[in-house]
Amino acid sequence: SLVIVIIRKNQPMNLFFKHIMKVLLNTTVIVILGKTGVGKSSLANTILGENVFRIGDTGNSETSECRSETRRVDGRDVTLIDTPGLFDTGRPEEELKAIVKCITECAPGPHAFLIVLKVEKFTEHELAVTEKIRQYFTEEVLKYAVIVFTHGEDLPKGTKIEQFVCQNESLRDLVEKCGGRCHVVDNKHWTNKQPNNYRSNQARVEDLLNTIDEMVTQNNGGHYTNEMFQVVEKAIQVEEHRIQQNLSSGNMPWEEIREQAKILKKVEGNFYSKKLNLLLQELAKNS
């Protein structure tokens, strides 16, 4: 079966995801995450075995909208949700927050998240990307996550991805937090279909899907839900309200309120509310 759903600019994104889940109850639902340029859309095409997601020739993001495609792969129905680059230049944070919220609200929820990285030096920037994903989706996301590397051709000859991961402590720690789940493909070069060839996308995709099946079993068939996301949001709202009450009552020193606001901003990452942002600006004026 084939299902293609494209969300238009003015279409509520929650309706988009609810429609997908309503149609695809018996499908393995996989969300692909990562920064622009790592090959998310190409990875989706590699998994599905055909070019259904548009690929750009530049470093700019070709994926500006969440898009879903469904195919039958190795005897299972697979739905891939390709997302815009989480760190695209110029993408409003409110738009990013909407994307995250809609993914977490889709019922019954994704079975797996693929966090996409390139086979390259794992720098502070790549670490920051993965930290942001954990901030947006909470630490719970790692129970449902698989690290997938693209550009596998850049691996030294005879080197497997597990060996590459072990060369960097931060990268190794990340993979361990994801239950040791990591895979590699090369969307451009590994086109041979030899099952015993390590540098074969067909073999690597089969292994990846088997890993996802095992992960779903370990999670008792469960989906990632937004319960943790809602708990975090509620706690942040309560803290915002408390800070604003202290500010208006004058019962707490400015310096202490300012420190509370800074801590809250750090906890919530880049998604702190407009009200808190205004509060910080006001605090700066009075410092």
pLDDT tens for 149-184 read: 999 999 999 999 999 999 999 999 999 999 999 999
Q: Which of 223, 248, 270 is the last residue of a domain?
A: 223
Please check whether residues 241 and 175 belong to one and the same domain. Answer: no
**Alpha-carbon distance 281 to 15, whole Å?**
36
E strand or H helix at 3, and its extent?
none
Question: pLDDT tens-digit profile of 192-239?
Answer: 777 778 999 999 999 999 999 999 999 988 888 766 556 656 665 676
- 242 and 214 inside one domain: no
How much is the pLDDT for 83?
Answer: 84
Number of compact structural domains in the chain: 2
Domain range for residue 271? 228-285
Same structural domain, 234 and 207: no
Residues 239 and 155 in one domain: no
Q: Are residues 166 and 277 in the same domain?
A: no
- Assess whether 31 and 129 both reside in one domain: yes
Out of 199, 223, 247, a domain closes at: 223
Q: What CATH number is attached to the domain comprising 65?
A: 3.40.50.300
pTM score of the predicted model:
0.69
Q: Quick one: 45 and 161 in the same domain?
A: yes
135 plus 157 within the same structural domain: yes
Same domain, 145 and 13: yes
Average pLDDT over all residues of the chain: 76
d(CA 183, CA 104): 24
How many angstroms separate the Cα of 222 from the Cα of each of 50, 84, 108, 209, 228? 29, 25, 9, 16, 14
> From CA 131, how far away is CA 34, in angstroms rounded?
11
Domain shared by 257 and 234, yes or no: yes
Are 191 and 266 within one domain? no
Q: What is the bridge-based pairing of β-strands 67-73 and 145-150? A: unpaired
1 or 70: which leads in pLDDT: 70
158 and 277 housed in the same domain:
no
